Amino acid sequence: MTVTLLKTISETRACIAAARERGLSIGLVPTMGALHEGHGALIRKAREETGLVVVTIFVNPIQFDRPEDLEKYPRDLDADIAFCQRLGADAVFAPDAAEMYSAQLLTSVAVAGISTRLEGEFRPGHFRGVATVVAKLFNIVPADRAYFGEKDAQQLAVIQKMVADLNFPVSIVPVATVREPDGLAMSSRNRRLTPEQRGIAPLLYRALCEAERLLQTGSRSAAEVRENAIKILTQNPAIRIEYLEVIDPATFQLVDTVSRGVVIAAAVWLGQVRLIDNVRV
Ligand code: AMP
């Protein structure tokens, strides 16, 4: 079977309706393309669990807070289609921006609270853009299950809350972060690292692992955990830390004293490339 390329909303709706007629369940994997094995894990899980797997590839302009990030975002549709084909996806929905935003957008989805700190603080408007496009995708591809990576832990929490609050009839399936052998979380943005920056990038995960180790050996002070993790990152002057915080996974607010499960989340810059990662402890 070859993967079906869908460019318009109407042909996508027809494809889903035909699958429903055949009694197939629908799995949706929203992405921005430049696919790698992190996306691969989502597609594989969808393939195991659902009858028709639809991967969406759309570099969503309204979630970018910096024009140059949007402009430089890697795009390679032919390679992405081949990747989806290899992993056994049934369809790729790859609309252009005019198809998704044909009229001026006057409606948007904002998830309060969870969206305010971390990514929400450093990327104004980002989560509104994400929640809005995901809500649109859920209406275009009415899926039974939709797959999201824990690599973007705050995004996952935002989507889970949106689905609960607005009663979207879809189950959100979290998928564990896929890493390179040296620990660096796979990301489309890794392609933009110079070889030298690529050599430095694994320090991010190393710092998060140090934070995890401290918590697991009994530290309960978020300040102490932060300080030690930040010490690892500051070993290398090429790294600019945007945030590294100990977070309550339910609210995405900062924690002072750790008494139950937390997420340690960080964002750093290496040159012009921004990397994020997190661990759950
Ligand atoms: P993106 O194309 O970066 O918007 O990501 C699309 C989906 O893939 C999101 O749900 C991400 O969380 C997920 N994803 C990206 N990188 C990884 C990774 N290394 N491991 C697991 N999931 C990932």
**Alpha carbon of 70 to ligand 1 centroid (Å):** 17
pTM for this entry = 0.98
CA distances from 40 to 72, 86, 138, 182, 274 (A): 22, 10, 20, 19, 22
Q: Is the CB of 131 under 6 A from ligand 1?
A: no
Per-residue model confidence as pLDDT tens digits over 186-236: 999 999 999 999 999 999 999 999 999 999 999 999 999 999 999 999 999
- CA-wise closest residue to 31 among 78, 75, 66: 75
H or E segment and range at residue 224: helix 222-234
Asked if 39 is an active-site residue, the reply is yes
What is the rounded average pLDDT for all residues in the chain? 98
Rounded distance, CA 96 to CA 59, Å? 9
Nearest CA to ligand 1 atom 17: 38
Rounded distance, CA 213 to CA 208, Å? 9
Q: Is the CB of 177 under 6 A from ligand 1?
A: yes
Q: Is the CB of 266 under 6 A from ligand 1?
A: no
Per-residue model confidence as pLDDT tens digits over 158-172: 999 999 999 999 999
Phi, psi dihedrals of residue 102, rounded to the nearest 5°: -75, -25
Q: State the virtual CA torsion across 205, 71, 130, 133 in degrees, nearest 10.
A: -140
Q: What is the pLDDT of residue 33?
A: 98
Q: What is the pLDDT of residue 1?
A: 80
**Alpha carbon of 69 to ligand 1 centroid (Å):** 17
Rounded distance, CA 146 to CA 28, Å? 5
Instruction: Give the helix, strand, coil percentages of the chain, each rounded to 5.
Output: 45, 20, 35
Rounded distance, CA 199 to CA 203, Å? 9
Over range 176-193, report the average pLDDT. Answer: 97
Q: How confident is the model at residue 32 (pLDDT cuts 50, 70, 90)?
A: very high
Q: Is the CB of 38 under 6 A from ligand 1?
A: yes
CA 223 to chain centre: 27
Length of the chain: 281
- CA-wise closest residue to 9 among 65, 58, 70: 58
Structure tokens at 262: 């937390």
Per-residue model confidence as pLDDT tens digits over 121-153: 999 999 999 999 999 999 999 999 999 999 999
Per-residue model confidence as pLDDT tens digits over 63-109: 999 999 999 999 999 999 999 999 999 999 999 999 999 999 999 99
